[in-house]
Amino acid sequence: MHNRLRIAPATVAIALVTLTASCGSDEQSSDISMAAPTASSSATGAAVTRAVRLTDNGCEPTSLTAPAGDVTFTVTNAVDGTDLKSEFELLTKEPKIIAEEFFAQGEQRDVKVRVPAGDYELICGAPSNPRAALTITGEGGENTAAVTVDPAALQANVDVYTTYVDDQMTDMVASNAALYDAIVRGDLADAQALYMPARVQWERIEPVAELFPDSDAVLDSRVDDFEAGPTDPAFTGWHRLEYLMFDQRTLDGAEPFAAELLTNIDVLVTNVHGISIDASTMINGAAALIEEAATGKITGEEERYAGTSLLTFASNVEGAKEIVDLNADLLRGVNPTLYAAIEQSFAAIDAGLAEYANGDGTYAHYDTLTDADRAPLQAELATLSEDLSAVAAAFGLEVS
């Protein structure tokens, strides 16, 4: 998933955006719907097309006008001298993202958007570029009734998700206490078996836990973050224990790190209980879980010593699916096509992971998978990440 423009939080009472294709798609066109059909020319069969060029200086042209309804932007990336994809983004005045697509250098693709009357802005190329003005004309928008989400229903789902997070935190305390006990007993085999059960709760609720970067640093840092490597005294948390148990195959020196881990988990629990999770954190959290799996963890870098990356993926998927399941009725109400695509990806990922399941809650060692084995899993995770990233906009929330 590409880096996205961060915008001011929006209230859930505003009109929603419904996306019928994931942002950043490499398909020939993307259909993005913001409202019910209008009585404009674009809704009655006459195609409305506007050409837009992405340049080093922003959009060409710098202002456009179109009638309310379906508008097709024929977008060409004319940005010079970069291998990076360039952005085409449509915003309301709040601002709220209506459409967001990325184009390779020289690429041309249609972006279809359904918009009611109003004033909008376009970003072309870099987000820092001057914004172009887009005016959508109509009869005051009375025939462009937008789909809305019930704020009370969304908040009720947030409350249920908060309970889920609290339950995961309770389980995290217990599972890491069991790991600590095995380390104190000097039982290496038991400690190795308890390593991933002590981490799955973190992996399910990682976007919430990562709201506290100090906790993230001491609990989940990788060895790459430390100049002195795996023996750096500042290298703590699960992955220091993972290094000792699976790479060095010893528990010598592990007990102080295990004790510190318990203390730092207690701090995290206190911090999480001290905040109110909001709808944006919940909804964007699902996309964040899968994005990190698709772009970073797929390499096996996180559980490099234990080889348990498949269980990490499974835990990320569980956490994301919990959020989608809680909000299924709302998502079906504003964008059934997007919901169906997300459910299809979840099913495909579950099926892919099942090929490597050992039948006891564990999976094959990640190093036994070839690049060809990993490729379809990575592709499906990437697709799911892009679709999940569209849910926040569909709910009228801040997109992160």
CATH of the domain at 103: 2.60.40.420
Residue 211 belongs to a domain: yes
Residue 9 belongs to a domain: no
**Cβ–Cβ under 8 Å, residues 250 and 165:** no
Point out the domain boundary residue: 86, 115, 137.
Answer: 137
Nearest-Å Rg of the Cα atoms of the chain is: 23
Residue 386 belongs to a domain: yes
Provide the whole-model pTM: 0.67
Residue 10 belongs to a domain: no
* Amino acid, single-letter form, for residue 243: Y
Residue 338 belongs to a domain: yes
Helix, strand, or coil (residue 378): helix
Asked if 294 and 339 sit in the same domain, the reply is yes
CATH of the domain at 259: 1.20.1420.20
Point out the domain boundary residue: 89, 110, 137.
Answer: 137
**Number of domains the chain is built from:** 2
Nearest to 157 by CA among 330, 369, 33, 38: 330
Point out the domain boundary residue: 108, 137, 166.
Answer: 137
Residue 286 belongs to a domain: yes
Asked if 50 and 155 sit in the same domain, the reply is no
Asked if 208 and 350 sit in the same domain, the reply is yes
Where would I find the H helices in the chain? Answer: 151-185, 188-195, 200-204, 206-209, 213-220, 238-242, 254-273, 279-295, 309-326, 328-334, 336-354, 371-389, 391-394
Asked if 358 and 279 sit in the same domain, the reply is yes
Residue 73 belongs to a domain: yes
Residue 8 belongs to a domain: no
Asked if 132 and 156 sit in the same domain, the reply is no
Asked if 32 and 81 sit in the same domain, the reply is yes
Asked if 133 and 264 sit in the same domain, the reply is no
Phi/psi of residue 267, nearest 5 degrees: -65, -45
Looking at residue 97, what is its pLDDT? 76
Asked if 127 and 165 sit in the same domain, the reply is no
Asked if 344 and 384 sit in the same domain, the reply is yes
Asked if 173 and 195 sit in the same domain, the reply is yes
Q: Give the chain's end-to-end CA distance (angstroms, integer).
A: 11
Domain that holds residue 70: 18-137
Looking at residue 346, what is its pLDDT? 97
Asked if 158 and 206 sit in the same domain, the reply is yes
Asked if 196 and 268 sit in the same domain, the reply is yes
The pairing of beta strand 18-19 with beta strand 58-60: unpaired
Q: One digit per residue, pLDDT tens: the chain, 400 residues?
A: 333 222 223 322 223 232 223 333 344 444 444 333 333 333 334 568 999 999 999 999 999 898 888 889 999 999 987 777 888 989 887 777 778 888 888 999 998 887 888 889 999 988 888 999 998 887 433 333 345 689 999 999 999 999 999 999 999 999 999 999 999 999 999 999 999 999 999 999 998 998 999 999 999 999 999 999 999 999 999 999 999 999 999 999 999 999 999 999 999 999 999 999 999 999 999 999 999 999 889 999 999 999 999 999 999 999 999 999 999 999 999 889 999 999 999 999 999 999 999 999 999 999 999 999 999 999 999 999 999 999 998 898 877 6
Looking at residue 32, what is its pLDDT? 46
